[in-house]
């Protein structure tokens, strides 16, 4: 990979805050590393975690643990802000009053087949970035070298691409691609779309991470009054988490950037506006009634 001018790029490193070497590596870069059960540092990396989760990571883990997304998020995740505008992210939550991963066992990872993307990549860091004058994102990599990790001293050399295949990361990257693009677009749009409102951050959180709540949202009467989702598509979204995740990302592009991905019922916007006005009117009326009751009480007490 040629050296790129990274000055005007927005990057989205899943290893923010980690000791990532600043040199950018490509698919064909070779590196020396091997991790196995007999290394002296076994489990050291899982004893002090900083693992951000992608929506697909959550989907895989909640399926493995057979729990709803809300319960998974509560038990196994902790929120963080991905940028200064408060874009919501989630990380794996360590054990109570400790730094170790809740899935760590003496034998290694207790959810190995469904471990998150960042665990698969380690000690490689994926950097997704986009030049300010381009509409497509690029991937580059960096090497994480932490003193405790002795895998770098093991006698095995491979390219980053070979390592990605061995760790089963290609499928994870494919499933997370659209989400990473959305994040880059939100970061690069910056002032063009203004500071995201709390509601748009809540929508982002729900459609990205809390898919069972998002499913309930798209099944609600108010959603269906607004959006025209064909019956067979709705049936698929109700039954299939991956389809729901893809739909959620399209929904976010529609809600955050006004992209025309989801068909609305004719006049839906006007009806929503009318309902909001009626509700505002009812609230005003209720506030007026309350004020009159207080005045009446005051008057009765004085007499």
Binding site for ligand SF4 (CB under 6 A): 35, 39, 41-46, 49, 51, 101, 103-104, 109, 111, 115-116, 119, 122, 148-151
Rounded to a whole number of angstroms, the minimum distance from the CB of residue 238 to ligand SF4 is 29
Residue closer to ligand SF4 (CB basis): 150 or 268 = 150
Helix (H, G, I), strand (E, B) or coil at 22: coil
Residue closer to ligand SF4 (CB basis): 100 or 219 = 100
Rounded to a whole number of angstroms, the minimum distance from the CB of residue 112 to ligand SF4 is 7
Residue closer to ligand SF4 (CB basis): 107 or 274 = 107
Rounded to a whole number of angstroms, the minimum distance from the CB of residue 74 to ligand SF4 is 17
- Helix (H) / strand (E) element for 77: namely strand 77-81
127 Cβ contact partners less than 8 Å away, ≥ 6 residues apart: 11, 12, 13, 24, 139, 140, 141, 142
Residue closer to ligand SF4 (CB basis): 44 or 262 = 44
Rounded to a whole number of angstroms, the minimum distance from the CB of residue 39 to ligand SF4 is 4
Cα 299 to Cα 173, 285, 286, 290, 294: the distances in Å are: 69, 21, 20, 14, 9
Residue closer to ligand SF4 (CB basis): 138 or 152 = 152
Rounded to a whole number of angstroms, the minimum distance from the CB of residue 202 to ligand SF4 is 27
Residue closer to ligand SF4 (CB basis): 71 or 297 = 71
Q: Among 173, 150, 163, 130, which Cα is nearest to 14's?
A: 173
Residue closer to ligand SF4 (CB basis): 149 or 193 = 149
- Helix (H) / strand (E) element for 11: namely strand 9-11
178 Cβ contact partners less than 8 Å away, ≥ 6 residues apart: 246, 249
User: Which runs of E-coded beta strand occur in 83-188?
Assistant: 88-92, 104-105, 108-109, 124-131, 138-143, 157-159
Residue closer to ligand SF4 (CB basis): 121 or 251 = 121
Dihedral of alpha carbons 72, 75, 76, 81, sign: positive
CA atoms of 139 and 185, how far apart (whole Å): 15
- Cα diameter, the chain: 95
Rounded to a whole number of angstroms, the minimum distance from the CB of residue 53 to ligand SF4 is 10
| Chain centroid, CA 147 distance in Å | 29
Unique residue bearing structure tokens 């959550």: 58
Rounded to a whole number of angstroms, the minimum distance from the CB of residue 75 to ligand SF4 is 14
Q: Among 194, 214, 186, which Cα is nearest to 82's?
A: 186
Rounded to a whole number of angstroms, the minimum distance from the CB of residue 144 to ligand SF4 is 10
């Amino acid at each position: 990979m040629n050296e790129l001018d990274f000055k005007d790029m927005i990057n989205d490193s899943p290893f923010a805050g980690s000791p990532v070497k600043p040199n950018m590596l490509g698919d064909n870069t070779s590196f020396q590393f091997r991790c196995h059960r007999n290394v002296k540092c076994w489990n050291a990396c899982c004893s002090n975690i900083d693992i951000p989760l992608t929506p697909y990571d959550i989907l895989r883990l909640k399926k493995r643990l057979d729990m709803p997304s809300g319960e998974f998020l509560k038990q196994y995740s902790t929120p963080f802000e991905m940028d200064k505008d408060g874009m919501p992210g989630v990380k794996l939550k360590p054990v109570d009053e400790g730094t170790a991963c809740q899935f760590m066992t003496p034998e290694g990872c207790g959810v190995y087949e469904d471990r998150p993307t960042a665990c698969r990549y380690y000690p490689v860091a994926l950097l997704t970035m986009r030049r300010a004058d381009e509409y497509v994102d690029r991937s580059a990599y960096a090497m994480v070298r932490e003193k405790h990790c002795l895998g770098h001293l093991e006698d095995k050399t491979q390219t980053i691409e070979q390592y990605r295949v061995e760790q089963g990361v290609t499928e994870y990257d494919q499933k997370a691609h659209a989400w990473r693009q959305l994040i880059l677009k939100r970061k690069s749009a910056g002032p063009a779309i203004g500071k995201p409102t709390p509601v748009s951050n809540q929508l982002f959180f729900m459609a990205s991470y809390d898919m069972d709540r998002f499913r309930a949202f798209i099944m609600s009467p108010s959603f269906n009054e607004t959006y025209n989702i064909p019956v067979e598509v709705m049936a698929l979204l109700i039954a299939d988490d991956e389809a729901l995740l893809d739909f959620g990302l399209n929904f976010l592009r529609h809600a955050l950037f006004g992209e025309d991905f989801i068909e609305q019922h004719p006049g839906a916007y006007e009806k929503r506006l009318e309902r909001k006005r009626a509700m505002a009117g009812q609230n005003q009326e209720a506030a007026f009634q309350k004020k009159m009751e207080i005045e009446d009480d005051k008057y009765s007490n004085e007499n």
